[in-house]
Amino acid sequence: MKNQLGVIEGFYGEPWSWGERADYANFLRKHGFSFYIYAPKGDPYLRKKWREPFPKVHEEKLAKLAGQCHSAGIEFGVGFSPYEIYLSSFDLEAKRLLQNRVDAFNRIGVDKLGVLMDDMKGDLPNLAERQLEVVNWIAARSSAKQLVFCPTYYSEDPVLEKLFGKMPQGYFEKLGGLEKKVSMFWTGELVCSKAYTAEHLSAAAARLGRKPFLWDNYPVNDGPRMCKFLHLRPVTGRPAQLGEWLTAHAVNPMNQAALSKIVLLTLKASYEQGAAYVPEKAWRRAAAMVTCKDMAAQLERDLPVFMDRGLDALTDDEKLSLKADYEAFLEARENDTAAVAREIVNWLSGRYNVTKELFVTQ
C-alpha cells in the first residue's frame, strides 16, 4: 500500500460543515494523507432517500468539494448506500433510479465510490447474490478510479448478527463473484477494533478474496453511548507494517473535526516511525501542532475526563469549570486552537448527543 491513508466521514449524528471539509482537504495533503471520502449517515440522499432526485444545490456543493480535494492533490470519494435495494426486485425502474445517482457521481468527479450495504437487514438466503448484482452493475457504469463495497457483515463482531440477523450460509464465498477491481471494506475483529494483526488481516483477505480496505472506527464517537466521550488518546495497535496487509486505510473520525486531527497525526506518525513510534510523544507533538502549547497541556490533563469518565459522569460544576477553561481559548489565533475549544465547549453543552432514535432513522 503506497500512501493509501485517508479519512471517511462516515459517522452518525451531526456531520461536518462544508468549511470543515474544505479545510480537511488541505490538512490531509499537508500531512501526507491521500484521500477523503464523504459518507455521513446524516445525508439522506446517499442513504434512505437515494431514489429521490439528487438536489441540484447538493450536487454543486459536492462538486465544489471534489474540486477542492483535487486542487489539494488528494482523491475525493463518496460513500453511497442504496438502502435495502436488495429487498425488492432489481428491475428497470430500480436501475433507472440507480443510474441517476451514478451519473451524478460521474459528473461530480468521484475518484473512490463506496457502495455501502452496512447497517441493513441481512438474514436473507440470497443476500450475496442480490448485492453482487447491484455492485457489479454499478461498477460497470461508474467512472470512479476505485469502487469499494461494504458488505452487511463487515467484521467478525457478533453484534452484527444480533442487530441485522444471522449471516446467510456461504455469504462471503458467494461474494467472490465481485469484479476483481472492486475492493471491500472491513473493520476488523470488532466493529470498533482496538488493534489489527497480520494474522487477522491475512485471514480477512482470504475470506474477502482480496486485501481489505480498512474502515478504522477509531476515533469515531457517534453512537448513543460513544457520543458521551472524546476519543483523543493516540492510536495504538496499528503498526507500520499495516500497509502491507491492506488495499487502503480509511479512518472514521469523530463528529469533532478539529479534535480528530490530533489522533490522525498520531496514526501518520505510527506509519512513519515504525518501531520508534512512542504514542505519548507523538500525541504531544500532534496536539501542539493542531492547537498550541498551553492547550496541548490542558488537553493532556483532561484526557482521563474525556475518554474514561465521559459527559454523563461529570457534575454540573465540573462541566462549568471545564467550559471556563476552554472558553479562554475561543479567541486564540494559533492553528486550530479556537476550533478545538469550541468543539469541547459544545460537547460539554450536549450539542453532539446522538439519541437511539437518531441512530436508527439515519
3-state helix, strand, coil in the chain (%, to 5): 50, 10, 40
**Is position 362 within any domain?**
no
Residue 361 has pLDDT above 80, yes or no: no
* Residues 264, 290 within the same domain: no
**Is position 78 within any domain?**
yes
Residue 342 has pLDDT above 70, yes or no: yes
Q: Are 236 and 195 in contact (CB under 8 A)?
A: yes
Residue 73 has pLDDT above 70, yes or no: yes
pLDDT at 362: 59
* Bridge-based pairing state of the strands 75-80 and 213-216: unpaired
- Residue range 256-275, pLDDT digits in tens: 999 999 999 999 999 999 99
Residue 147 has pLDDT above 90, yes or no: yes
pLDDT at 355: 76
Which of 281, 300, 315 is a domain's end point? 281
Return the higher-pLDDT residue of 258 and 87.
258
**Is position 97 within any domain?**
yes
* Section 45-49 average pLDDT: 94
pLDDT at 67: 98
- Residue range 172-202, pLDDT digits in tens: 999 999 998 899 999 999 999 999 999 999 9
Q: Are 79 and 37 in contact (CB under 8 A)?
A: yes
pLDDT at 301: 98
* Residues 314, 184 within the same domain: no
Task: List alpha helices for the chain, DSSP H.
Answer: 18-30, 56-72, 92-108, 127-139, 159-164, 171-174, 198-208, 257-273, 279-290, 293-304, 316-327, 337-348, 356-361
* Residues 276, 295 within the same domain: no
Q: What is the dihedral of CA 245, 35, 12, 182, to 10 degrees?
A: -50
pLDDT at 354: 83
- Residue range 277-299, pLDDT digits in tens: 999 999 999 999 999 999 999 99
Number of domains in the chain: 2
Q: Phi/psi at 277 (nearest 5 deg)?
A: -65, 125
Q: What percent of the chain has pLDDT over 70?
A: 97
**Is position 141 within any domain?**
yes
DSSP assignment of 329-340: TTT--STTHHHH
**Is position 353 within any domain?**
no
| pLDDT band at residue 154 using 50, 70 and 90 as cut-offs | very high
**Is position 359 within any domain?**
no
Which of 281, 309, 337 is a domain's end point? 281
Residue 357 has pLDDT above 70, yes or no: no
* Residues 80, 105 within the same domain: yes
* Residues 310, 228 within the same domain: no
- Residue range 1-17, pLDDT digits in tens: 456 999 999 999 989 99
Q: Which amino acid is at 207?
A: R
| CATH of residue 147 | 3.20.20.80
- Residue range 50-62, pLDDT digits in tens: 999 999 999 999 9
Write down the pTM of the prediction: 0.96
Q: Are 113 and 141 in contact (CB under 8 A)?
A: no
- Residue range 101-134, pLDDT digits in tens: 999 999 999 999 999 999 899 999 899 999 999 9
97: CB partners within 8 A, 6+ apart: 50, 51
* Residues 265, 299 within the same domain: no
Residue 360 has pLDDT above 70, yes or no: no
* Section 323-336 average pLDDT: 97
**Is position 358 within any domain?**
no
Identify the domain containing residue 180 by its residue range: 5-281
Provide the mean pLDDT of the chain: 95
**Is position 126 within any domain?**
yes
pLDDT at 1: 47
pLDDT at 241: 92
pLDDT at 3: 62
